[in-house]
Structure 1
Amino acid sequence: MNFEKLNRDDVRKDYKLIKTRLNEISISKHVIEKINIEINNIKLILKNIVTIKIHGSFATIGLYKIDSDPKIDLLGIVHLKQSMFDVYENEIDSYEHFDDCFICDYNKIVYEKLFEMYKNNDEIEVEWQNQTISGNLFQDNIIISVKIDGKIYKIIYRSCLSSKKIYKLICVRNVYRRSFTLEYVRNYKILDKLLLKKLSFLFYEIYLIAKNNGYNKMKLLYMKLAILSKLQWFIQQNNIYMRTWTSSLFKMFFTKNEVVESLFTTNDFYNKNAKLITKIYRNVKFKKFNWVYHGMFPDLKNFVIEFTKYAEEHSSLRNVGVENNERSIYFIYDINAYIINQSKSKNILVHNWEKKIEDSGLKVTKKYIYPDNTDIGTFMLFAIYYHMELI
């Protein structure tokens, strides 16, 4: 696509500044290597029991030198058939807890396995922790304390249930909850790449604000979630960069209206146009919006000022569940293209996602993204967002 070129000197200058700053504040590569070695050891020990995934700060921003109590979060994923996953998910609204809970059982199995493996290791200690989340909600953690260069780094392990749905199920002792923590990590990484590491820089500033104001871990998380949600919500708010990008996408695949009309000459639309559909769908993926995000946020300083202010305003964020309420969290689930023929008698979604949405179990909202070229009346995008639940 022939977009206006970025000011490459400004991009390089900001990126160099960000890289230098992140190197200054992050723990040493030597320590990171030691932590990763221990994580790999844990994966090997538990490979026939659970699938280990890293989440939390270590999976996104990493660890800072000034962290007084550095933690690394691990999820042990137990894969279930959808029918059994649904049995557990149905208990969320009932506030019931199974006496023979899979998650609790796996926590015990994992604890016993790790304790046995490390009991004679003076540098590593394994312990069971019952943590209060809020009110009467508790969760069982397995803490693997690793001593590296005289400092203790705590690896926090929790078990969860997984199916084909994008969220996991966790147990907080007396009830079950949905967890989107791995989606948080995935979306953070996409946005940080689109923004050329500006997000990593910003999140350190947010961390300092939280630290200096005595905010707890949950309040800091709310601030980060508010930022990620806002950054994804931007693309459908009559955004000129997104609208320009949408027009250019149309022109790339449809040189003239006759090409669009030809798509509808057969009832077997998807099979006859399979190659074109695949190309369009691949190009409307969220991770493809580099030019859009460069255009929206070209300047590091302004980006940090705008979003530190926004984060502080949302430091008491609650998941109120009201659509379009700015104090709710929405993440992008999918981007889809919608094509209409010239007479507006026929239309088609490039990707048939309705069944996928139905199976997902998510509360979704659909937002239109129109091209900036008013002559294009046959093409638009849908940004499909899901409402993220918070514990």
Structure 2
Amino acid sequence: MALVLNEEQTMLRDSARGFIGDNAPVAHLRKLRDDNDATGFSRALWKSFAEMGFSGLLVPDEFGGSGLGCVEAGVVMEEIGRNLMPSPFLATAVLAASALSRGGSAAQKSEHLPKIADGSLLAALAIDEGAKHRPLQTKMQAVRSGNGFRLNGAKAFVVDGHVADLLIIAARSAGSPGERAGLTLFLVDPKTKGIALERTTMVDSHNAARIVFDNVEVNADGVLGELDQGVALLEGILNVGRGAVASEMVGVSEEVFSRTVTYLKERKQFGKLIGEFQALQHRAAHLYTEIEITRAAVLKALQTLDADFDNAATAVAVAKARAGTTATLAVQEGVQMHGGMGMTDQFDIGFFMKRARVCQELFGDSNFHADQLAQLKNY
């Protein structure tokens, strides 16, 4: 399959680029940060986003969505990355929609997917428990209680967990941390007794949450997918999320590159435009080639998720690892070529550096995915 967007995907990209660029430039994020906004994003803008059909991209047609694929979700994520738009799109429209579409019962799909498609329900995926992404090391306990389960444990780095109407929780219903068997996913109402939630503002001014579960009762109807066999469903959901975050990092890298090249053409030193210095030209050319190679790797991963979902892990690991290293290179070069002013809050370039750092860690950094790739290839 050609590593280019088709006509419909290009039209979607142009639509998303125009909408996000007009309504949520970096200044939008800056204002939310400066106002210490309690929500961390604009609910009015999210409503308009949903009306454009973006929130239902991965929701099947029969539940009010577009029934499109990961490539289309990646197209929107790339434009979000270009503008650093704070939005529940990743947590709700990508992760939760994928989880429910792939693992939900008929009742669960009917109840939640239409609300995701129309933007009226926000959801969050709660996986990590420590400083690093290690899903198989899940310690949170799900113990049988009556006709359901009792959850005990804590989750960290839950993206948009502070505003979620629905939580998707990974807990250990059997086995020990590190084992593949024994993981189960649960749908949990965050208002359930025993849940303590703390909003955390991350370094990039986006939001996450810490959530503590103290004897939280969940009905058996809240099980998402198969009991004790949730690892395959979870890995599939995470791969969709990793592909989406990789796309966002492509957007971050491209925007940083564009802004940096513009600066090189405007800034003068010793009476010459700094873009005329060959050393900076070489560095800019190197960054350009890295971004283009990464773009191809990410699109390949998204296409594989759509065409051969169960065998996409290798392509996703390559894409996420490479997107992380490329975004890191892009923001470091961007800040350095802007000189000392690149480190000041007056310039937006610092916002991109912080977002790239968060995206690098989200769902596994480059080292995590290099290790994943080695395991998949039996190195």
**TM-score, scaled relative to structure 1:** 0.29
Q: Which has the higher helix share?
A: 2
